Chain A
Amino acid sequence: SQKIEQNSEALNIQEGKTATLTCNYTNYSPAYLQWYRQDPGRGPVFLLLIRENEKEKRKERLKVTFDTTLKQSLFHITASQPADSATYLCAPIYMDSNYQLIWGAGTKLIIKP
């Protein structure tokens, strides 16, 4: 079965620096990979989607990369701000999954002023 691995340890970053979060998957590549943000006591909120044939996707200060050779997606936040502090979840989508997402446990990001 597919497994998704995200850094379980919190990531502490100084304000203004770039934060990089990692999502690794096993077996075969997903058709799409999504990244979500989750704040305490709230449901996840969608941020970005990248397709298997895309190397990189950007949205404002956010950038996602997808490396099918390494079986890895990286999520970058540039010019990080304390308001970016949250847990970030990755969720690959496999076309044979009947629209079920497999979720990583998430990485807690802490941006220090």
Chain B
Amino acid sequence: NAGVTQTPKFRILKIGQSMTLQCAQDMNHNYMYWYRQDPGMGLKLIYYSVGAGITDKGEVPNGYNVSRSTTEDFPLRLELAAPSQTSVYFCASLGRSNQPQHFGDGTRLSIL
């Protein structure tokens, strides 16, 4: 059972570079989420999607973009990376509202 798969696991970027964090799920879930987690802090929602072709901003969307062309994939794009974007990024999926979210193992991103 693959569940939610995130790639890469680790990445170091220079300031101003761009990259895409990949997220794929094989559970046919409609809802998908991107979070960032800073040390000692809770999960902050960046973007979410309620189905293919539909995305919306979360609490901290600035500096990020997403797309959802298929049910399975929900990539997160960082444009012009900044040191404030150093964090651990988690992708999650959800089937129905009263069911648990399923998380990937995260991408640890450092911007230097």
Interface residues of A (CB under 8 A from B): 4, 8, 31-32, 34, 36, 41-46, 49, 51, 89, 91, 93, 95, 98-101, 103-106
Contact B103 A43 (CB under 8 A): yes
Contact B101 A46 (CB under 8 A): yes
Q: Which residue in A4, A43, A45, A99 is a CB contact (below 8 Å) of B106?
A: A43
What's the interface size class on B, roughly? 20 to 34
Chain A residues with CB under 8 Å of B97's CB are 32, 93, 95, 99
Distance between Cα atoms of A98 and B43 in the complex (Å)? 17
Contact A43 B50 (CB under 8 A): no
Distance between Cα atoms of A43 and B95 in the complex (Å)? 17
Main secondary structure of the interface of B (DSSP, over half): strand
Contact B42 A101 (CB under 8 A): no
Contact A105 B105 (CB under 8 A): no
Interface residues of B (CB under 8 A from A): 4, 31, 33, 35, 40-45, 48, 50, 56, 58, 90, 92, 94, 97-98, 100-106
Count CB-based A-B contacts (< 8 Å).
60
Distance between Cα atoms of A87 and B108 in the complex (Å)? 18
A sample of 23 cross-chain residue pairs with beta-carbon separation below 8 angstroms, ordered by A number, consists of A4-B42, A31-B98, A36-B100, A41-B105, A41-B106, A42-B105, A42-B106, A43-B4, A43-B90, A44-B103, A49-B98, A51-B98, A91-B101, A93-B97, A95-B97, A99-B31, A99-B48, A100-B48, A100-B58, A103-B35, A103-B43, A105-B41, A105-B42
